Structure 1
Amino acid sequence: MHWLYVNVLPGVVVTAVLLILLSIGGELYFRREMPFISTVWPTHFDDRYGFNFEPNAEVRWTNLADYWVSERTNSLGFLDREPPVKEKGEDVCRVVFIGDSFVEAAQVPLRDKFHIVFESMANQSLRTGFRYETIAFGYSGAGQINELPFYDVFAKSFEPDVLVLVFVVNDFANNSPELESVRNGWHPYHPPRLFYAFDRERNSYTVIPIDPMWMDYLLPKSIFVPTPQNRVGQWLQNKSYLYAWLSSRYNFMFRASKMAEIYRNRMVSLEKQGLVSADVFGTWDPRLKNMDIMFDENALPPVFQDAIALTGKAFDEFQARSDRDRFSLVVLSVADVHARYPVMFSRLASLLSERHIPLVDQYEYLQRKGHDPDAAHFRYDGHWNEDGHRWAAEALLEYFKEHPGVCGKN
């Protein structure tokens, strides 16, 4: 025992003191460098359109590495400026943007969002006789089918001349009720967003409406029971800047593997309840292949084939609204779709070509301009950074320059 006191204890004490000093130093450093660590995400559900934000509310968002942004939502519940008056002059070209988190763009201040940057660029450089106005309707996790109510409930009344749909890597899966059940734990026939069901044998589609009682039908899951350990962890997450940073790095590296196991359990649950056929997922194992990256495979299980057909259905619905309400429809594909997943991009391009819907490919623009696609997004977050937003605006501006009649349909 005396030997331990003499030879071991001093080293343990010194190590403990050094760890305490390092922790204090790290805490002080991160408190100096980070504006905040707690996020505010005021989600609002409405059975007309699904999710957006509470109107006129603060949204505070950070990944504790690349960005710390605090902005307020507008009176419609979107992260954008207040929309213009609905009545517009003859000289106004009104461009509406609809999409998911890339349009929501909680990672950058309002002034840097691509639709606002585009508006400024267009008014400065396009000599068409129009004054350009832009409005954005975006919320995280929405696919094109889920976004149809964004147009019907909000955008339609603003009488857009051009509607730009922003397509991202996870959009194919977002349009599938089965895959979104796996991702989110929703019941495929009682969802909180609009979906369609696809009948492969009849090649027909049936609306799955938004269910106001969707929370009553969530897939079975393990119940989270607070313990002293995770209570302490949650307290540290909210109070300690150092702990929050370390936790964010851990989640960045390991969250995907945890979610893959949850996805697998949800697949089993769907099959046991008879909500999907036994072969719909094929040999797909989310622990081996990411759900969204599956669309870059040449051979696809039935549920992924259905998701592509459903994406085509979404484009059909937007095109029908374009014909009815007399606006031009354009799709903007973020760079990663083409840069990382060429088979996925070719599937998107084929869907749009069949329908004669113009496609603006941000990756193709970046290639011509000599920009690195990886420089368009944050290091620890796949969303656009300030450069990515600006380059998206420039790619779209180029399309408008090459198609001066795009605003003339309405």
Structure 2
Amino acid sequence: MTAILIKYFILLPLFFFLTVNNKDCIVLSIKNKLSSFSTLRKIRFLSTAVLLISVVLHFFNPTYEGPIPAPSDKQNNAYISPLSRYIYWRNPVWTLENGDSESSPQESNLLLFENGTQLGPAHSTHSDIRSKGTGAYSHWGGALYFSSSDNTDPRANGRTYTIKVSLGLRWWITLLSFVSGGILAFSYLPFLMRYSFFRISILNFTFFLGLIIIVCAAGEIYLRMVKGIKNSSTLLETVPQIGNIYTPNSTVHWTNYTDFSVTEQVNSLGFVDREPPVSKKQPNEVRIAFIGDSFVESLQVHNNQKSHVILEKWLNSKNSKYKFTAAAYGYSGTGQVNQLPYYDFFAKEFRPDYVVLVIVSNDFSDNCPVHVALRNGWDPEHNPRPTVQKDPDGKFFILEPQLDYAGYLLPASTTTPATTLFAKIRKGLFKYSMLYKYVSISLQLNYHLNIGIFSGEYANDNIIGQRLNFLKQNKKYHDLVKDEDGVDLMNLDYQFDKKDMSPLTIDGIARTDFAISEWKHRAEADGFKLVALLSHSTSMYCQKDSLIRERFVQIFDKYRIQHFDQCDTILNSGHLPSEANFSHDGHWNTQGHIWAAETLFPYFEDAIR
């Protein structure tokens, strides 16, 4: 192959330029030279040229920066622009990279500008774009769903709308490279088949290649159709005064490709739970609301396997005097301050007699805006969830979700994009092949490998350090973070388990204390009993000397809130704490939910006597 490339792409062009006096006749000379070739040599020459060009094209990563086509449709504040079709007819080689989809809701890297000013947030739900607008947009599939900054008609407001987005090679370029390579290899087949060594090797190679294709195809069919594994998919909304919830009545699928693969329905409120009761509360009815983060959300198990459903079932089976009804209001990555609207706007209408706050190890961190900034890249004062802030007098107050948070993100790249041909192949396999993804994630989880080895896109290992350095330059946060180290902060939750606390850790505990006091005020005002369940993760999976658990207990004792530790139930049963969660995921498995219900059951059984 090397000899062919040198002959046809270095020696021949050099020969023509040196021997042809009239450079205008180069094309004619090449034509005459080719005419002297045999048909087989012409095929080899053209196949090599096509293969080389198509391979070289894979190393380019161009971007499109320019205007968008006129919107073809309007839905309230949303306007729909057919991007793919617009770029398709203007570029024969490049096309748009993939837009967002249900399986990859954050796939697109498209940026939208209005008169040069960036709009956002990107990846907005279509319902948010239609109802709220104000610059929200979504590159979905091959179309751009967008709104103007003031919800005026972008077709008539006189402003210019431009985009910046990565382009990828059209599928036929990749196909062409494989076809040309196959033709080139096939053209040498008769020559190689003259030799017994090559003949046997080619036959063996063909046999094993066919066997590999059959095995891979069987694996894809088994995983997709028999085992029913599919990519995780969710539909989310950011609601004013509330923050993040799931799109009501949508379907959620969640998997880690090894331990669980669950599909569940979102209820009409936007939580992954059964539909809340619509009937009036009965005199003998006792209602319990579970509120928390991903441990309450529990996407890893079905609704009927969750702790609040199990507790409800047990209490009703053991008692005939009262009817118990339990409901769950949980969303991943939230702390107690973020969860306050879940009560104010949803659970309050449920009229609970008891509210159970489910506590986990990352709650201190999630109640601290600076920690959230380091984890998620959200500016401490521009968060899509409620946050605890300080006024000029140093007093805490709750700031509502800031829907324009996307315009204030901390500057840092979360991943290194796939640029080489090999990386792009891995990215494509990781996205489209369920077998490849299943094997890759299994290897990554079992052997603690970097997932970038398989996906072609490596996570930015220094992202915490980059965000920390940015906050250190801000006078408002400098004193809090000046002594922090980016490497040490890689495990944000662990900071609250240290004996010696930094100013940032003390600040996070103080804000959590304020959040719990707000819950206590609501309990006193609305007449419900406030209870806390310390999950086994609160004590770093039942470590006896856990300071996270101890610090939460101090806060609950301060406000006279009854609390129960799941670890007591697990250890008294003679089991290991690790049996409460999945092998490759720290959330409760079915047994973990049973132990959570078992921890609370004696309290509710005694309370109704």
The alpha-carbon deviation at position 329 of structure 1 amounts to 0.3
The alpha-carbon deviation at position 172 of structure 1 amounts to 0.7
Structure 1 residues 280, 225: closer, same or farther in 2, change over 3 A? Answer: closer
Q: Which residue, 515, 519, 526 being the options, matches 1:314?
A: 515
Structure 1 residue 371 and structure 2 residue 371: aligned?
no
* Secondary structure at 1:153 match in 2: helix
Q: Which residue, 358, 362, 368 being the options, matches 1:166?
A: 358
Q: How far apart in 1 are the matches of 2:333 and 2:531?
A: 20
Q: Which residue, 453, 463, 477 being the options, matches 1:262?
A: 463
Structure 1 residue 204 and structure 2 residue 395: aligned?
yes
Q: How far apart in 2 are the matches of 1:214 and 1:85?
A: 35
Q: How far apart in 2 are the matches of 1:26 and 1:371?
A: 40
Q: Which residue, 181, 184, 187 being the options, matches 2:376?
A: 184
Paired residues of 2:464 and 2:489 also in contact (CA < 8 A):
no
Structure 1 residue 219 and structure 2 residue 410: aligned?
yes
More displaced, 39-48 or 164-173?
Answer: 39-48
The alpha-carbon deviation at position 204 of structure 1 amounts to 2.5
Q: Which residue, 25, 44, 51 being the options, matches 2:244?
A: 51
The alpha-carbon deviation at position 58 of structure 1 amounts to 0.8
Paired residues of 1:197 and 1:207 also in contact (CA < 8 A):
yes
| Equivalent position of 1:120 in the other structure | 313
* Secondary structure at 1:188 match in 2: coil
One-letter amino acid of the counterpart of residue 248, structure 2: P
More displaced, 364-373 or 137-146?
Answer: 364-373
Structure 1 residue 103 and structure 2 residue 316: aligned?
no
The alpha-carbon deviation at position 159 of structure 1 amounts to 1.1
Q: How far apart in 2 are the matches of 1:7 and 1:292?
A: 61
* Secondary structure at 2:237 match in 1: strand
Paired residues of 2:464 and 2:490 also in contact (CA < 8 A):
no
The alpha-carbon deviation at position 361 of structure 1 amounts to 0.5
| Equivalent position of 1:335 in the other structure | 536
Alignment of 1:10-21 (within 5 A): 21=211
Q: How far apart in 2 are the matches of 1:103 and 1:83?
A: 15
Q: Per-residue CA shift, 1:210-234, capped at 9, x if unaligned?
A: 1121111111133876645555444
Paired residues of 1:198 and 1:306 also in contact (CA < 8 A):
no
Structure 1 residues 262, 209: closer, same or farther in 2, change over 3 A? Answer: same
The alpha-carbon deviation at position 368 of structure 1 amounts to 1.3
Q: Per-residue CA shift, 1:308-361, capped at 9, x if unaligned?
A: 111111110000000000000001111122214611111111111111111110
| Equivalent position of 2:549 in the other structure | 345
Aligned-residue RMSD, C-alpha: 3.0
Q: How far apart in 2 are the matches of 1:291 and 1:215?
A: 22
Q: Per-residue CA shift, 1:385-407, capped at 9, x if unaligned?
A: 111111111111122124337xx
One-letter amino acid of the counterpart of residue 324, structure 1: A
Structure 1 residues 279, 94: closer, same or farther in 2, change over 3 A? Answer: closer
Q: How far apart in 1 are the matches of 2:209 and 2:329?
A: 48
The alpha-carbon deviation at position 202 of structure 1 amounts to 6.2
* Identity score, percent: 33
Structure 1 residue 358 and structure 2 residue 548: aligned?
no
| Equivalent position of 2:67 in the other structure | none
Q: How far apart in 2 are the matches of 1:364 and 1:42?
A: 37
* Secondary structure at 2:258 match in 1: coil
Q: How far apart in 2 are the matches of 1:181 and 1:51?
A: 16
The alpha-carbon deviation at position 43 of structure 1 amounts to 1.2
| Equivalent position of 1:243 in the other structure | 436
Structure 1 residues 378, 225: closer, same or farther in 2, change over 3 A? Answer: closer
| Equivalent position of 1:408 in the other structure | none
Structure 1 residues 328, 29: closer, same or farther in 2, change over 3 A? Answer: same
| Equivalent position of 2:269 in the other structure | 76
Paired residues of 2:472 and 2:481 also in contact (CA < 8 A):
no
Q: Per-residue CA shift, 1:48-84, capped at 9, x if unaligned?
A: 2110100110101100000010111011111011100
Structure 1 residues 8, 314: closer, same or farther in 2, change over 3 A? Answer: farther
Q: Which residue, 522, 525, 535 being the options, matches 1:324?
A: 525
More displaced, 68-77 or 83-92?
Answer: 83-92
The alpha-carbon deviation at position 283 of structure 1 amounts to 3.5
| Equivalent position of 2:502 in the other structure | 301
Paired residues of 2:315 and 2:605 also in contact (CA < 8 A):
no
The alpha-carbon deviation at position 160 of structure 1 amounts to 0.8
Q: How far apart in 2 are the matches of 1:249 and 1:19?
A: 24
Q: Per-residue CA shift, 1:174-203, capped at 9, x if unaligned?
A: 00000001100101111100001257x966
Larger radius of gyration: 2
Structure 1 residue 156 and structure 2 residue 348: aligned?
yes
One-letter amino acid of the counterpart of residue 182, structure 1: L
Q: Per-residue CA shift, 1:99-156, capped at 9, x if unaligned?
A: 11111111111110111111101111146x2210011111110100000011111111
Q: Which residue, 246, 250, 257 being the options, matches 1:64?
A: 257
TM-score by length of 2: 0.61
Paired residues of 2:531 and 2:561 also in contact (CA < 8 A):
yes
Q: How far apart in 2 are the matches of 1:181 and 1:365?
A: 35
Paired residues of 2:441 and 2:451 also in contact (CA < 8 A):
no
Q: How far apart in 1 are the matches of 2:482 and 2:358?
A: 27
One-letter amino acid of the counterpart of residue 51, structure 1: N
Structure 1 residues 30, 376: closer, same or farther in 2, change over 3 A? Answer: farther
The alpha-carbon deviation at position 245 of structure 1 amounts to 1.6
Structure 1 residue 271 and structure 2 residue 475: aligned?
no
Structure 1 residue 394 and structure 2 residue 598: aligned?
yes
Structure 1 residues 168, 8: closer, same or farther in 2, change over 3 A? Answer: farther
Paired residues of 1:198 and 1:310 also in contact (CA < 8 A):
no
Paired residues of 1:71 and 1:110 also in contact (CA < 8 A):
yes
Structure 1 residue 139 and structure 2 residue 343: aligned?
no
* Secondary structure at 1:61 match in 2: strand
Paired residues of 1:117 and 1:393 also in contact (CA < 8 A):
yes
Structure 1 residues 14, 358: closer, same or farther in 2, change over 3 A? Answer: farther
Paired residues of 1:37 and 1:244 also in contact (CA < 8 A):
no
More displaced, 60-69 or 86-95?
Answer: 86-95
Structure 1 residues 250, 138: closer, same or farther in 2, change over 3 A? Answer: same
Number of residues of Structure 1 aligned to a counterpart in Structure 2: 401
Paired residues of 1:188 and 1:275 also in contact (CA < 8 A):
no
Paired residues of 1:49 and 1:210 also in contact (CA < 8 A):
yes
Structure with the larger RCO, 1 or 2 (CA within 8 Å, 6+ apart): 1
Structure 1 residues 231, 275: closer, same or farther in 2, change over 3 A? Answer: farther
Gaps in structure 1 of 5+ consecutive residues: 406-410
Structure 1 residues 273, 203: closer, same or farther in 2, change over 3 A? Answer: closer
Structure 1 residue 28 and structure 2 residue 218: aligned?
yes
